[in-house]
Structure 1
Amino acid sequence: MPIRPAQLAPVYEYPEHLRAQVAAAPRAPGVYFFYAQDDSMPLYIGKSVDIRSRLLAHLRTPEEARMLRQAQRIEYVQTAGEIGALLLESRLIKELQPLKNKRLRKQRRLCSIRVIDGAVDIIDTTDLPGASPLYGLFRNKRMATEALMLIADEQRLCHSLLGIEKAMGRSCFRAQIGKCAGACRGDESHAAHTERLLTALARWAVHRWPFPCAIALHERHGEHVEYHVVDGWHYIGTYATEAEARQAPKSTGQAFDADCYKILVRPLLLEGAELIMLG
C-alpha cells in the first residue's frame, strides 16, 4: 500500500500592505487595533506584552488570514505593563464591540454557588449581593449545576442535598450504587457532608474586595508609568501620575465585572503587585 505523504499545514503570509505597519510596531506591552478601509470602528482589538510579536503571530488560522486581508491599517496604544493592556482591551471591546471579537463583547449576567447553613443554591451574582461566601463565576445556571455535579462525583456527595434533584425523603439512587456517601439516609451527618462540599468548593471561591478603600496598581515599562485605579473590583481608569490617581472618581456601584475580576484577582492577592492605598 503506498504511503500517503503527510499533509503540510497551510502557510499564511502577511498582506503586503500591512507589513511595514507590523515592522514599525513597538516591542512593548499594549493594545492593538485592526481597521478595515475607511472604517472608524476596529475589526478586531487585541493585547500583548509585545505588540509586534503578537501581530506577527496573527497567521495561525484561515479565519485570521481572512481578517488580515480585510484589514487596511493597524493602530496601537502602548501601556506600562500587561495588566494595563488587559484592562484597556477589556474596556474597549465592551465599548466598541468589534466584529471579530467574540469574547468580552458584552457584560454577561453571572451565576455563583452559595451555601448557607448547608443549603445550596445558585444565585445571580451580577451585583455580588450580600456577604455570604460565593463560589464560581458561571455564565448560566446550567453550568453552575454541572460544576456541582462534577464535585458530587469527585466527593460522593448527595444530589438531593445539593439541590440538583428533589429530595424524596429516602435514600437516593446514587447512595444505593455507591456514588453518594449516604448523607440522605443517615450514613453521614449533614454537617460532615457540608464540610466536604465547602472544602471542594474552596478552589472556586470568589474573593471579596480585600482592601478598605480604592487602590492604585502601579506599572512601569521603561519611562512609561501608569496607575490603574480599582475600587471593589471595579476598574475606574488609568492615570499617568499618583496625584491624578488620587483624584480619580470612586466606584459608582456599577455591575460586577467578571472579566475585570479575573484580570486583577491574581496580581492583587497572589503576585505582590505594587499597590498604593487611596483612602
Structure 2
Amino acid sequence: MTPPPDTRPAAAPEPADPRALARQVAGLPHLPGVYRYFAADGTLLYVGKARDLRKRVSSYFQKDHGGTRTGHMVSRIARLETTVTRSEAEALLLENNLIKTQQPRYNILFRDDKSYPYLKLTTGHAFPRMVYFRGAMDRRHSYFGPYPSAWAVKESIAVLQKVFQLRTCEDSVFANRSRPCLLHQIHRCSAPCVGHITAAAYAADVDAATRFLRGEHDGVLKDLQARMQDLAEQLRFEEAAAVRNQIGALSRVLHQQSMEVGGDQDADILAVVMQGGRACVNLAMVRGGRHLGDRAYFPSHVQWAEAVDVGAADAWPAAPQAAAESGLARAGADEQGGTPAAPPSTQPALQAVLDAFVAQHYLDLPLPPVLVTNVPIDAELVAALQEHTGQRCVAVPNPRGTRRSWLDMAVQGAQLALARLLAEEGAQHHRTRALVEALALEIEDLDALRIECFDVSHTAGEATQASCVVFQHHAMQSAQYRRYRIDGVTPGDDYAAMRQVLTRRYAKLAEDADARLPDLVLIDGGRGQIAAAREVFEELGLDIGRLVGVEKGEGRKVGLEELVFADGRPKVALPPDSPALLLVAQIRDEAHRFAITGMRAQRARTRTGGSKLEDIPGIGPKRRANLLSRFGGVRGVASASVEDLMTVDGISRDLAQTIYAALH
C-alpha cells in the first residue's frame, strides 16, 4: 500500500514574517514534491513541482526580482506548504490535479475539456461494428485515436466504409435485418446481416482495416494483392473482383491523402505562439500514417508565464545531459544533425506555456511516440510523463524535412487561431463597454462585469424548464450555467415559473452578506416577466435596479428588441447595429438555447418513459443506455423476457427480474 504523502504545512503563527519563511525553506528536504504559495488572505497563488524541493523553493527567495511579475508574486507570498512525493512523476500528477481543482492565479491554466472522440471496433461481436465513440473505454473492444474532432472520426469511418465495407449499424438493427440496407446498395457495407459475406472473409476485412488504422498501408495493399491473385488462381473471379475493387478504393484514398508521414506512424505536432498578451497552443495529430487535423487551445493566466518558469534558466544547461540519460537526446540529434540546441533566451514564456500544456494535457491521454514542437520541452517533464504513462516518447524541437512541414502548418494554424481570438475578444470588449454605457452601470472593472440571464421554456405547459446562463470576463461561462425543473405551478404560467426560478437562485445569496451577486440580471420577456421578477427581488431585499427585461419588438423581429426596467425607467430601444444590443441578444439567445434543449430532453424522457428505467435500483446511465440500445426503446425493454434482459452487459438474473417486475 502506498504510504500517505508527507505534507508539511507552515507552522508559524505569523506566516508573513520573512524570517519565518526563510527558516521554513531552510528546513525543506532534498526530495521531489509539490510546493504551494499562499497570500496573507489564504488565496492560493501558485503550485509547482520540483525534483529537489529545497533548491527549487529557495530559488524564489535568493535574489531580488524587482518589479517583474515574478517579484510581484514573491512579494505576496505569506506562507507555503509542501508535499513530498516518491518521484517526480508523482509530483507532476499531484501538481496538475491541484492546478485543475484549485486554479491558482499565477499558474498557466488550460480548460479541462479534453474529451476526444475515438473510432471504436466492437471486437466482441462475430461481425464487428465500427462506430464513433466518446467516453470511458471498455477493454473488450478496440479503440483508435484520439482524433482532434468528430469530423476526423467520421471521415475515417467513411474511408473504411469505402475500402473495407465494415458495418456501422446497431446490434439490434443487425439482428433483425431480412434484406440488405441502402449502404450495401451503394457499396459501403458487405451486408453480413443477411449472409452476403462469410465470417472468415469479414474477419479478414476487419484485420485489414485495423492494420490500415495503425498505418500499415503498404502491408495491407500487398496482402490484398496476394489475396486477389490467390482467388483468381482458384477461378473465384467474382470474389477476386471484389478484392480488386478494394485495392482500387484503397489506392485512391492513399493518393488523396496529402500529408506524407515519413517513418512515423503516430505523432503530435505542438506549436505555441504569443501575441497581445494571449497565447495559443495548436495541437495537430498524425494517427496511423494520416494527418487528422488540429485543435487550438487558449490558456488562461498567460501574463504570469515569467513567474511560472522561475529558475528555468539555471535548469537548461543540464537539460541535454538529462535528455541523453533518458534516451531522448539521440533522437533529437538524429533529426537535426547535431545536439539539441538550448532554447533561445527570448522564448522562456513560450516554453512555460508549452510545458504547462504538455503537463496538463497528457496526464489523462495516451502519450504519442513523437512530440514535434517549435520550442523545446523540458526533458525532465517528458521523462516524468514517460514514467507516469509507461510509454516511450521522443521530443523533437525545431525539426527538419517532413516534420518541418507539419510544424510550419501547425504554427500557421496557431497564428490564425490567435488572430481570430484577439479580434473576437476585441469585439466582445467593445460590446461590454457599450452595454455598460447604454445602461449607465457603475462598473469600473469591465472584466469583472457579471450578467445572469433567465429564460423559461415549455411545450403547451409540458416539461417546463428554466435556464440561467452567465456572462463574465467578456465571454459566456458555460461551466456556471444552471437548469431548473419547474414544479408546482399551473402549466403554461410563465410568470409563476419565473418567480420560482429567481427565488431558488437568489434566496440563499440574499442571506449571505459576502455572496457575489450579478451586476445585471436579464429576463427574457417584457413587462409581465419583469413584474414577476420585481416581486421576488423586493421580497428578498435585492436591488431591483439590476433587473432588465428583453422585450421582443414589433413583429418579434430580431434587432427590434427593447429593454424594460424594473425600477420604472422608460423603455430603451437601442439601434439594431448597437454593440450593446448585440451583446444582450447574444446572452438572451444563449439562455433560450440552453432552456429549450433542457426542456426537449425532459419532454423526451417523460414521453418515452425513460425515467421508469432510471428509477429502478441498480440502473444507471450506462446500463439504461445498453438496454435501450439492445431493445430499441423502453417498449422493447418492457416486452423482453428475463432471459432476454440477461443478455445485456451488466444485467444479472436478479437485476433482470427486478427490471421485469418494475415494467410490468
Q: Is the TM-score greater than 0.5?
A: no
Normalized per residue, the structure richer in helix is 2
The normalised TM-score by structure 1 is 0.42
Normalized per residue, the structure richer in strand is 1
Q: Which has the higher contact order (CA 8 A, sep 6+)?
A: 1
The normalised TM-score by structure 2 is 0.21
Structure number, greater radius of gyration: 2
